[in-house]
Amino acid sequence: MRQFGLIILLLLSLTANGQQRPIQSLYMFDPMLINPAYTGTQVQLSTTSIYRNQWINLEGAPKTFTTSVHSGFLRNKLGLGFIAAADKIGIHEDVSFYGTYAYRINLDKTTSLSMGLQAGFNNFRSDFTKLDLKNPNDPKLGGTLQRLNPNFGSGLYLRHKDYFIGFSVPYILNNRMLKIDTTLFGARQQRYYYLTAGITLPISDAVQWFPSALLRFQDKAPLSMDINSTFVLFKQVGLGVSYRLKEGLVGLFELQLNDNFHVGYAYDFTVSDINRFSAGTHELMVNYRIKISRIHRGLECPSYW
């Protein structure tokens, strides 16, 4: 119960500073999770699932599952897709579904600019019956609460054959997540701004280096930043490391099994006080891609990014 109490204190701190959205370590293998303008960039039909089990052995710790599906259409001038996600922490569960759209303009033979939109909803549910309360008859902390919130967002994505730059605000509305009593507290999802950039640097015929970075700006919260460095061997195996500001290091691995399947794994080394209770964080990714001849005939599909 000491560990569960720690999670409850964490939740209370989130309600005071704005509800945090899940942070994933393998987002660079599914950029559509943070920028709708990426929709269709892979040209072919692509589906990616990521499961994150945060703070292993800590009762009530966050668990996140996301699935995205997208494809290019009309000679890759536009992209269509959707994102489904389930995020659970303690007694709270957030299930969401968003449709995504991107329109792509070719600036020259090697550079394109995509403008993206997404819209959908989050269904937030809290089950207070799972709490071990000293006063089980407290009307403010009993039963279950549920709230359906619509939202929308947008983004830009500039892609060159050797680099990319993206900016997005995927969730614009600051929706209320939980309201127990107007005199007590309420939680809202605060707006995030994402700025991403990366470059491809060939080291040799067999090795490529992909340094990249992600900046997260959130209303009323400190700046968050990831610095990533990934080496790809023979265009099949990716090995990398990420540094997350104030949170620690992440080890990354990706393997292209064949033209259709990619798998990935990340391990977060926790450096905060939570490491006294947790064995770190595991994250798994599976990606499947397939070229549909009637839609993608004659189009080149990128093998990476």
pLDDT score, position 185: 46
Can you tell me the distance from the alpha carbon of 42 to that of 69, in angstroms, rounded to the nearest whole number?
Answer: 11
Query: Which residue, among 99, 2, 21, has the nearest Cα to 60 in the 3D structure?
Result: 2
Element (H, E) at 73: strand 63-73
The dihedral sign for the CA sequence 79, 80, 86, 89: positive
pLDDT score, position 196: 96
| Sequence-distant (≥ 6) Cβ neighbours of residue 158 within 8 angstroms | 111, 112, 113, 114, 164, 165, 166
Structural domains in the chain, CATH included, are: 2-296 (2.40.160.40)
Tokens of 138: 């407290």
Can you tell me the distance from the alpha carbon of 110 to that of 159, in angstroms, rounded to the nearest whole number?
Answer: 8
pLDDT score, position 126: 84
pLDDT score, position 101: 97
User: The whole model's pTM is what?
Assistant: 0.86
pLDDT score, position 132: 67
10-residue mean pLDDT series, the chain (305 residues)? 44 45 86 96 93 82 93 92 93 93 93 96 84 61 80 96 94 76 56 94 94 88 89 93 87 92 92 68 94 81 61
pLDDT score, position 58: 74
Name the E strands within 161-280.
163-169, 176-181, 185-188, 192-199, 201-202, 207-218, 224-233, 237-244, 248-256, 261-270
pLDDT score, position 55: 79
